[in-house]
Amino acid sequence: MSLEKNIIALTKRAIKDFGMIQGEEKVIIWVSWGKDSMILGYILSELKKQRKEKFELYGVYIFKEFLINCDIQFEEKRKYYEEVLKIPLEKINLKLPKDSKLNDGLGQSCQRCAYARRIALMKTANKIGATKICLGHHMDDIVTTSFMNMTQGRKLKIMPPINKMECWDFTFIRPLSYVREKDIQTLCNQKNIPFSPCSCPIGETTMRNKIKKQLWDFETKIPWLIENSFWALVKDFQEKYKDKEYIVK
């Protein structure tokens, strides 16, 4: 099986296992221009061709002027989404209150940045009537975040493949949950999919990035470390929410 077919199969399996996309739903893809969200758009556009029920896809790009200029080759990537993948793309300029800590270089953090983006995504989903918001997190991201929660937050908490919001009528989903980051990188190169590497000024110094690199190093000594850790976490997650909606606080 080719790498592309394998990633498509793994994505279909994750969607089926967690009921991520059902029927004729409106689905938002958060597009960051990174390899993960670009592959996510490509894979979902391919799956849409195969499925009988025709869900609608919408790309949403959030311009974060307060942190970095992410509009690197914006037009190239917009054309790829709209003309090649046939997914309409909306650009949102994320505006923050003047007293937001994100406006201060010292107050910048992944958590605050992610929170601001999620609010913008939820407002957009509510505006267009979308029921699902797709994020490009993959297996490595899920295991890294889960380890970070244990070692830094002192709690057993997985980054869930699916997270139904309590107060909103939509759900965050991660269709690439079963896919490794290295395979995403390889497929991007094989398909010449345009993407921009992370240019966040604090990206290399975050605890998340440090833990991910340590896990990759450990995996050279302990084969299947990330895969086995992932399936252990997912099994616990599924058992915890068995016969219930995947509502995660």
Domain of 167: which CATH number?
3.40.50.620
Domain annotation covers residue 29: yes
Q: Using an 8 Å Cβ cutoff, are 57 and 89 in contact?
A: no
The residue length of the chain stands at 249
Q: What is the pLDDT of residues 158-187, one digit of tens each?
A: 999 999 887 778 899 999 999 999 999 999
Domain annotation covers residue 245: no
Query: In angstroms, what is the C-alpha Rg of the chain?
Result: 18
Tokens encoding 209: 């990035």
Total domains in the fold of the chain: 1
Domain annotation covers residue 247: no
Tokens encoding 75: 């037009």
Q: What is the pLDDT of residues 52-100, one digit of tens each?
A: 778 999 999 887 665 555 556 678 878 999 999 999 998 887 766 555 5
Whole domain around residue 180: which residue ranges? 3-240
Q: Using an 8 Å Cβ cutoff, are 92 and 63 in contact?
A: yes
Q: What is the pTM of this model?
A: 0.88
Q: Residue 161: name the closest of 41, 16, 8 by CA.
A: 16
